Amino acid sequence: MSTFDYDIAIIGLGPAGSNLARMLPNSYRTIALDKGFCEKSIKKPCGGLLSEAAQKCLAKLDIHIPSDVLVSPQILSVQVLDINTRRKRRYMRPYINLDRDKFDRYLISLIPSSVEIRLGAWVSQIKELEEGFMVSYHADGETRTFTTKYIVGADGANSFVRRTFFKNHKIRSYVAIQQWFTDTDKPYFSAVYDKKTSDACSWSIHKDGYFIYGGAFKPNDCRRQFEIQKLRAAQRLCMPLESPIKTEACMVLRPKSPAEVCLGASSGVFLIGEAAGYISPSSFEGISFALDSSRVLAEAFLDKSDSLSIFKYYKAHTSHLRFKIFLRLLRCPFMFRQFLRSLVLMSGFTSIE
């Protein structure tokens, strides 16, 4: 009989952690913790658009989206805006516009009752034992501990699990900042580029009576660069960006190569989703990577019985995700280099205009 309190501890209940908890065999004693989803928790800033790749992953997993998760309007195109040249083009993109917090809560609701869920639980320490791990967390004003054989980090860009066990593993990071405004009468989703303030992309989205403008910026001086870009966008592109209702910010990863992805180790620590570095370096889309990587790790636990075999299976069967990152990196010059982007916009290739 196992001497551990649990077999698997999942840290983080975003799409990656929730899907893993949902798919793990019932034979494993599993606990899943997340510091969010309580009154005092801060919601992660997210565009809340479900890409075609993420929709395909959900379809493969036989997960259907309830109507109360969706928001209005559902927009079928993206408008690409270049602040520097003022060029605009529209392209067809079958995104689904949703409430990200409700979507995450819905995925949590699909987790079977055999999994113990701790929301509002802040993991403060993970200590490696001779075999297994001891986890300490804060919840309801108390500090509690438990032991587990395996640890899975599904805790996003600033992963506590990755920082604890892989301190020297660096993944390029940015700061995502977005603000909410009173809505306008012209709903559209846009991808915004401004080489003066960021070498990444920004976005605007409409959701149930609100207009959101946000972007990804290098950590140094990120807030000032955001404010400069916002002013430039308002002046040159006629965007209504005055008097924000609220401001949100968080770290996001942007891997420079597939080698920056950190899968974990054969000692029994695994990383999935953005905690591993699985996110698009071109669009910052991460839900499809989260669902795919968590599915593979669940299959590894189902098929293998020891940490080394699980790790090897997980690494081998997620090679397609690292290749996907490589392909996104090849696309980046055409999106982020001014000259090449201008050529693409002037050509009108694949645009709907």
Structural domains of the chain, ranges and CATH numbers in brackets? 6-52+104-171+255-330 (3.50.50.60), 69-99+172-254+336-347 (3.30.9)
For residue 243, the tally of other CB atoms under 10 A from its CB is 8
User: Peptide bond before 73: cis, by omega within 30 degrees of 0?
Assistant: yes
6-43: pLDDT as tens digits:
999 999 999 999 999 999 999 999 999 999 887 555 66
What pLDDT is attached to residue 1? 44
pLDDT less than 50: residues of the chain: 1
Query: What is d(CA 112, CA 127) in angstroms, rounded to the nearest whole number?
Result: 28
For residue 340, the tally of other CB atoms under 10 A from its CB is 13
Integer-rounded Cα Rg, in Å, for the chain is 21
What pLDDT is attached to residue 187? 63
HSE at residue 131, side-chain half, CA atoms within 13 A, is 8
Q: In 191-286, where does DSSP find H-type helix?
A: 222-237
Q: Degrees (nearest 5) of the Cα angle 72, 75, 79? A: 130
* pTM listed for this prediction: 0.94
Partners of 116 in the beta sheet?
31
- Report which residue type is found at 293: S
What pLDDT is attached to residue 39? 58
What pLDDT is attached to residue 41? 55
- Whether 287 contacts 15, CB under 8 Å: yes
Distances (CA, A) of 56 to 50, 52, 82, 96, 271: 10, 6, 30, 12, 22
What pLDDT is attached to residue 238? 77
- Tokens representing 90 are 């529209």
Chain-centroid distance, C-alpha 233: 25
